[in-house]
Every structure is written in C-alpha cells, then in structure tokens.
Amino acid sequence: MLINLFKSSKPYVLGLIPLIALSFWGRSIYMGEMPVVEQAMPLYYAIIFFLKDFPILANIFAVVLVSVQAIVLNNILEKHQVLSEKTKIPALIYTLLICCCPPLLALHPMLFANFFLILLLDRIFLTYRQDEILTKVYDAGLLIGIATMFYLPAIVFLPFYLISISMLRPFNPREWILSCAGFLTPLAFVMTSFYWTGELTDFFISIQISSLSTFTFDFSLIFPYLPLLLVLGFLSLISIKRYIEEMNNRVVKVAKMYAVFTWFFIFAVLSILMAPSMSVVFVSGVIIALTVFLSNFFVTFQRKIFSEFILLLLIATIIYSHIVPL
C-alpha cells in the first residue's frame, strides 16, 4: 500500500515523485498551456521571457521544479527530525497537494517562491542553539528577498522569519540587521537593472500590493472541486488536531519547529489576502505547512487501514477534480 511504501526510508522511493507529478501534468504538457500571470515580479518575467515560446518545455520544467521541491522538503524534515520517523510521506503529500487541481498545473510565480521558502525553513532550523549563524541569517533574508522578486506577497515571510528566530534563539540585533540586508540585496540588484534601462518608475508601479478593496472571489470556481475541498478540509482538521497534540508531547527543539510551521501556515494565509483575486494558485504557500500537518498524521496514526483509506480517498478526489473540468 502507498503509506507503507512511502514510509520506507529507502531513497529509491523518491524516484516515484517525478512520475506522480508527471502523471498529473501530462495534459498541460500535451496542450502546451501557459499560466495567466498575476502578482508576478521581475525574476519571474525574466524566466518566462525565455520559455514563453516553448510552453511544453515550460511545463516540463514545472514538473522538475515540483519534484525537486518535494524531495528537498522531505530531506529537510528528515534532517531536522521534525517527524517522529524517517519517511518519504512528505514528498508524496506535497506532490499530491501541489498537483491537486488543474489551475495549479502551470509555471506560476508562487511555484518559484515555494522553492526558496522551503530552503528558508532549513536556514531557520540551522540557527537553533548555534553560536556562529551570521551567514545563515543573511542567507535566510536573501531567500525571502529572492522569493519576493518572483511573487510579491512572499514579502510577508520576512516578519514570519523574524518571529521564528525569536522563538529559536535569543534576540541579537546584528542577526536581524543582517537578515534585512539579505532581504534587500535582490531588490537592490533588480532596482539597479531597472535604473540603467530607464524603467525604474515602471518597476515601482509593478510592486504595488493589491488591497482588500480589489479582492474578488468567484464562487462558481468552487463547485468542480467541492469533493476535494471537503476531503482536504476534513483531513486538515484532524491533522492539525493531531499536530497540536504531538507538539505538546515532543522534545523542546521539535516543539519549537512545530511552532515555526504553525506560524508559516498563518503567514501563508495572510499572503493570500495580498493577492489580486481568490485563485487556487495563491494557496501554494499554504501547501508547505499542510504537507507537514498531514504527513505527521499519516506517520503517527495507528489505524493503518483507516489512514490508507483516507489517503486513497484524497487521491480519488484529486483525480476527480482533474476529470470534471474537462
């Protein structure tokens, strides 16, 4: 069964991740679809400029990006022992969630931002009880800055990062200053390039954050994905409940890392409110935290038959959400 297969600590299991992503992305690759872009930033446009005439290549690149993110996130959770055992379940869950419905199957800006936000988590956890971390805190700020230059609402993860290191270590003003310097570095490079091309004013116009007054939501978009939303909502609720219970029973370091993912979830939701519309694409950041919540549930839940049933039900509703809109 799937859970037993991915519970294995054997590395070869991760070879299934690109195949799973490719199975969902097959139609997008065949149709050569490109995303309708909102809230994109200069680094995203720089990449799309080279790929816009090669939509098939762009979608293959997206599959590679998703697969790498799933594997890197899984490795970070194993490296820092966030879950109670070594497992490949997080890679499976992340891949399923990031491919859960057709609107997500595009090389959208949030997909790039997710990669840098996943790396950010590693930098955060590496600061725990370490003396020399100046390079790490600069790198953390740099990663948030790069993510923001792909997708503007990723800027909310700067306060998330500052809250996180405040939980993991004593306050040090030098670390905060270096983090902010790292964050500003990509912005400085981008602004310099726009200045030399005489387009600095256009850049400042492009970075205006959408307000709630312009936030729109099309309820008709919900109905094709209602079974998926119901199953995912139920699974998320029981997983978060289980996650909170585990947080109170783990050692101090792991409990703090659990708290970091809780704050990550909160700020990922806040980033959605900065988006110009309620599109499923903008929930991609939330998927990182949900992956941890759901993975913890499947790892710790003792009733194997029931957990297998829930996972198969989730996969069935994901497949349904891909078939109905056709």
101-126 pLDDT tens trace: 888 888 888 899 999 999 999 999 99
Residue 35 and residue 146: Cα distance in Å, rounded?
Answer: 21
Residue 249 has pLDDT above 80, yes or no: no
Give the pLDDT of residue 36: 62
Per-residue pLDDT, averaged over 126-144, amounts to 87
Give the pLDDT of residue 319: 92
Parent domain of 112: 2-323
pLDDT confidence tier of residue 211, bands split at 50, 70 and 90: very low
pLDDT confidence tier of residue 260, bands split at 50, 70 and 90: very high
Per-residue pLDDT, averaged over 236-253, amounts to 82
The full 3-state SS of 101-163, as one line of letters, equals CHHHCCCCHHHHHHHHHHHHHHHHHCCCCCCCCHHHHHHHHHHHHHHHHHEHHHHHHHHHHHH
Mean pLDDT, the chain, whole residue set: 85
For the whole prediction, is pTM greater than 0.85?
yes
Per-residue pLDDT, averaged over 221-237, amounts to 84
Cα 182 to Cα 178, 262, 314: the distances in Å are 6, 24, 39
Own/partner contacts of 216-224, CB < 8 Å, gap of 24 or more, are 216/276, 216/277, 216/278, 217/277, 217/278, 218/277, 218/278, 221/280, 224/321, 224/324, 224/325
How many separate domains does the chain show? 1
Share of the chain above pLDDT 90, in %: 38
Q: Which residues pair with 277 in a beta bridge?
A: 216
Give the pLDDT of residue 161: 95
Q: Which residues does 153 contact at the CB level (< 8 Å), separation at least 6?
A: 39, 209, 271, 272, 274, 275, 282
Give the pLDDT of residue 60: 92
Token pair recorded at residue 103: 């609107």
Give the pLDDT of residue 131: 74
Per-residue pLDDT, averaged over 180-194, amounts to 89
